[in-house]
Amino acid sequence: MIIMAIVLLFLIVIASIFAPLLTVYDPIEGDSSQRFLPPNKEHLLGTDHFGRDIFARILYGARITLPVSFTALFLTAVVGVVLGIISAMNFNKPVDVVIMTLVDVLLAVPFLVVAMAVCAIFGRGLENVLIVVVAVWWAPFARYTRSLVLSLKNSQMVLSAMVLGASYPVIVFREILPNIFTSLFIYLTFEFGNLILTLSTLSFFGMGIKPPLPEWGNMISDGRSYMTQSYHMLLWPIVAIIITVLALNLLGEGLRDFSNPYDTLATEMEDVK
Amino acid sequence: MKKNPVVKIEDLTLSYVTDKRVVNVYENFSLVISENEKIALIGQSGNGKSTLAKFLTGILPKSAVIKGGTYSLEGVDIFKKEKFLELNKVRGSKIAFIFQDATESLNPIQTIGRHFEELLGFHQICEKEEVRSLAIEKLESLLIKDAEKVYDSYPHQLSGGMCQRVCIAMCLCLDPILLIGDEPTSSLDVLSAYEVIENLRNLEGISVLLITHDISVAAKVADRILVLDKGEICEDAPTQILLAAPKHEYTKSLIDSYNEIPNVNEMGGETIEPSPILRISGVSKSYGSFRVLSDINLEVYRNEILGIIGESGCGKSTLSRCIMGVEENVAGEIFYEDVDLLKLKVRKRRKFSPEIQMIFQNSRAVLNPRRKVLDIVQEPLFYNGLYKGHREEMAMALLGDVGIDESMYYVRPTELSTGQCQRVAIARALVSKPKILICDEAVSSLDINIQLQILKLLLELKVRYNLTIIMVSHDIRVLQNYCNRIAIMKDSRILEIVDKDSLSKGLVHPYTENLLNVSCSKSLETVLQ
């Protein structure tokens, strides 16, 4: 499973890096005589409403979508995990209460409202999109991390480490983080797909990456308008996202099995050691 | 007189298959349980006792592969051509099952009454109006006082033992022909276990298969004991005969290790001066409005073994955690030598952790599954910044002391047996050269022969390292001779502190006497006589 995931991710990255070698078409300049073409020999995946080659746009789009979403994901994860751990380690103390109240507020307010407010204040642009995403999306990460840490924090393992004289940072880095890492990573891979769609929503509202730059989210929102006439405009960017997310999920699952210290079915057969 | 066989298993071959390995559990295993017969199946943990119970009820996990064999219930084939037939009809109504932890088998948001209604409704035993009377009749047949009240309670309002008895009553409602108990008393404290055992022993008109690692429980309940070793029944004899004249080596070792609890006086020899190394005075602790410890006063003398005994939930584990400094908001004073540990800030308190150490019940859960044995043992030195440069040698020396050899240095805890895990945990606790070692139920979950090994090991180490040991346990059989003094806890208080002399002379509080009386050690002796 893990090999399949690595191969897939490798192909996606290679394809985006070598995009100019893989297609002769320009992702931005269209040929207005070639609009709405279904997939054919010249345009492998067809063309869109400006006559641009969809295959080219997907390849070039990966160059934008993937780095942006990875950066956003990385930043949210760092903020969320750090705050989640701080919150859990100070369970029921003021710090925890403040962080968790903030999480509740952020989860209660619709994302787009916050995003619009931030863009209204700071203006539009890629940096601001990242700020918005991180500012709102860390909340579920923090909550998830907190729950993971809390369940481990009361485990005999952590208790015994405390008894042995380990300080909090040591407990977090030696006992807790290695044991929740895979759960977090799997959660991240699941969130990745969501994040791509969120970024495209922001683009759709004119807050993110501006058209005509090829971005998978933008392509989906373009394709949406012509869904009934040319399904392929909508289909291929979705397939691209699905393949990427699938590769990441496979990676997550593979890593989980790979790094699992227990025998896969050890719990089932604990009767026989 | 030949009784009719109720359950008949022949030539069962069963193994667990995963993508990594294959474990053969049974090969050509046969078993016959007759009508109204009470059978106990004993053996070490990890040799497939529970697998048999799961096979009988058809709840085997997917990784179990049955290669052959027949299984018939009252002469009707249930298992044929590697498939179970109509098990749903049999499960519950013919074969009943009680699990180890009854509090977890009951639904916490439903009253006991709802459980009965659901069960009887599903099996269409009686009309809804009759459920209550039938349930209460069954509960009362198990000598449960206040059956009406129990019927209307939620599981959390009952003790673990009461929950287990409720489970038995529920099983009885369906009038099964076989009741399987998988370690039904292992997670209970002495007094509740006693009641459950009494219930099981007095059941009539039903066959019982009791699966246990505890030979004393088996001796109390069963007419016939089967000893299971490595997937084979190595001895099969009526209880009296088996206990009096065990034939197989394994059975002998089981009975011997049961009777032979090491005696503190024989090993240490020295008399204990009443000079306290640890002085606990007025310690109280509450969780919200619930009082866990109230006004605990206790002195622990240098080089003694002090036992702390009590029912589950009496606060004995909380007390040990208070001493270790991992509980917050504890009132009172705990003096170690001349320092009040409770007054210290976290950082300063940590400086004392090398001197007071602790080992836990479930050492498998305590050891980080991602680290190797040699690293694990060095942990306390690393945490406290001790003995830089010599850590590995010290860890190796201690691993040698606890009998873990070099081949296991780079193995992860999941590959060790429970006994080995506990040895590693002991080595880890002792590597920082502590003065006091707290053992919180450290031997309770171990097999009886491993229990004996660990107890002996602790005594040896106590002498070698001049340790003061606090043994926290619910098992008076272990503590009786092992400890210099025993503190008896009940309902968050210390009831009394007795030394060995007054314990043997019987100069004790009625509660303590009760504990001693129901303790299974006595019953094994009585059975033997």
Tell me how far the alpha carbon of residue B49 is from its chain's centroid: 15
Of residues A246 and A145, more confidence is placed in A145
* Torsion (CA) A159, A164, A168, A170 in degrees, nearest 10: -120
Q: Given this model, what pLDDT does residue A269 score?
A: 45
Average pLDDT, chain B: 84
How many Cβ atoms from other residues are within 10 Å of residue B100's Cβ?
18
Q: Given this model, what pLDDT does residue A270 score?
A: 47
Q: Are B291 and B318 in contact (CB under 8 A)?
A: no
Residue ranges of domains in chain A: 2-272
Q: Give contacts of B383 with chain A, Cβ < 8 Å.
A: 161, 164-167, 170
> How far is B512 from chain A, CA to nearest CA, in Å?
30
Q: Amino acid identity, residue B289?
A: S
Q: Say if residue A267's pLDDT is above 50.
A: no
A165 pLDDT tier (thresholds 50, 70, 90): confident
Could you give the CA distance from residue A45 to residue A65 in angstroms, rounded to a whole number? Answer: 19
Q: Given this model, what pLDDT does residue B12 score?
A: 86
Q: Which of B18, B54, B358 sits opposite A163 (nearest CB)?
A: B358
Report angle CA B348, A81, B351 to the nearest 5 degrees: 10
Q: Which ipTM value was assigned to this complex?
A: 0.72
Q: Which of A156, A166, A263 sits opposite B383 (nearest CB)?
A: A166
- CB neighbour burial string for A3-42, b if at least 16 within 10 angstroms, e if fewer: eebeebbeebeebbeebeeebebebeebeeebeebeeeee
Q: Cβ A265–B353 below 8 Å, yes or no?
A: no
Q: Given this model, what pLDDT does residue B83 score?
A: 66
B520 pLDDT tier (thresholds 50, 70, 90): low
Q: Are B336 and B354 in contact (CB under 8 A)?
A: no
A 160-179: CB under 8 A from B? 160-167, 170, 174-175, 178-179
A99 pLDDT tier (thresholds 50, 70, 90): very high
> How far is B271 from chain A, CA to nearest CA, in Å?
30
Using a CB–CB cutoff of 8 Å, tell me whether A152 touches chain B.
Answer: no
Using a pLDDT cut of 70, give the percent of chain B over it.
Answer: 94
Q: Say if residue B266's pLDDT is above 70.
A: no
Q: Given this model, what pLDDT does residue A205 score?
A: 75
Q: Given this model, what pLDDT does residue A266 score?
A: 46
Q: Cβ B20–A263 below 8 Å, yes or no?
A: yes
Q: Are B451 and B257 in contact (CB under 8 A)?
A: yes
Query: If residue A238 lies in a helix (H) or strand (E), which one and from where to where?
Result: helix A231-259
Could you give the CA distance from residue B205 to residue B180 in angstroms, rounded to a whole number? Answer: 14
Of residues B279 and B125, more confidence is placed in B279
User: What pTM was computed for the model?
Assistant: 0.77
Q: Say if residue A77's pLDDT is above 90.
A: yes
Could you give the CA distance from residue B430 to residue B397 in angstroms, rounded to a whole number? Answer: 11
Could you give the CA distance from residue B418 to residue A31 in angstroms, rounded to a whole number? Answer: 72
pLDDT in tens, B57-111: 888 877 788 888 888 888 778 777 666 666 767 777 788 888 887 778 888 899 9
Q: Say if residue B522's pLDDT is above 60.
A: no
pLDDT in tens, B426-473: 999 999 889 999 998 888 778 788 888 888 889 888 888 888 999 998
Using a CB–CB cutoff of 8 Å, tell me whether A135 touches chain B.
Answer: no
pLDDT in tens, B149-188: 889 989 888 888 888 889 989 888 888 889 999 888 877 7
Q: Are B355 and B348 in contact (CB under 8 A)?
A: no
pLDDT, average across residues B321-346: 88
Q: Are B218 and B225 in contact (CB under 8 A)?
A: yes
Q: Cβ B414–A178 below 8 Å, yes or no?
A: no
Q: Are A126 and A209 in contact (CB under 8 A)?
A: yes
pLDDT in tens, B291-331: 889 899 999 998 889 999 888 778 888 899 899 888 888 88
pLDDT in tens, B179-229: 999 888 877 777 788 888 888 888 888 899 999 888 888 888 888 999 888
Q: Which of B20, B48, B324 sits opposite A272 (nearest CB)?
A: B48
Q: Give contacts of B324 with chain A, Cβ < 8 Å.
A: 162-163
Cα–Cα distance list, B113 to B91, B110, B117, B129, B149 (Å): 21, 8, 6, 12, 10
Fold category of A2-272 in CATH: MetI-like fold (1.10.3720)
- The dihedral built from the CA positions of residue B264, B269, B273 and B278, taken in this order, carries a sign that is negative
The label of the residue with tokens 């006439």 reads A229
Q: Give contacts of B368 with chain A, Cβ < 8 Å.
A: 157, 161, 174-175, 178-179
Q: Given this model, what pLDDT does residue A268 score?
A: 45
Q: Give contacts of B65 with chain A, Cβ < 8 Å.
A: none
Q: Which residue of B has its CA nearest to A175?
A: B368
Q: Which of A164, A175, A272 sits opposite B16 (nearest CB)?
A: A272
pLDDT in tens, B474-493: 888 788 878 888 899 888 88
Q: Given this model, what pLDDT does residue A96 score?
A: 94
Q: Given this model, what pLDDT does residue B265 score?
A: 67
Whether the link from the prior residue into A212 is cis, omega within 30° of 0, is: yes
pLDDT in tens, B380-420: 888 888 877 788 888 998 898 888 888 888 888 888 888 88
A97 pLDDT tier (thresholds 50, 70, 90): very high
Beta strand pairing call for B290-301 and B305-310: unpaired
Q: Given this model, what pLDDT does residue B362 score?
A: 80
The label of the residue with tokens 């053996």 reads B43
Q: Which of B23, B54, B326, B370 has the most A C-beta neighbours within 10 Å, making it the best mutation to test the interface with A?
A: B370
Q: Given this model, what pLDDT does residue A19 score?
A: 83
Q: Cβ A160–B358 below 8 Å, yes or no?
A: yes
Of residues A200 and B349, more confidence is placed in B349
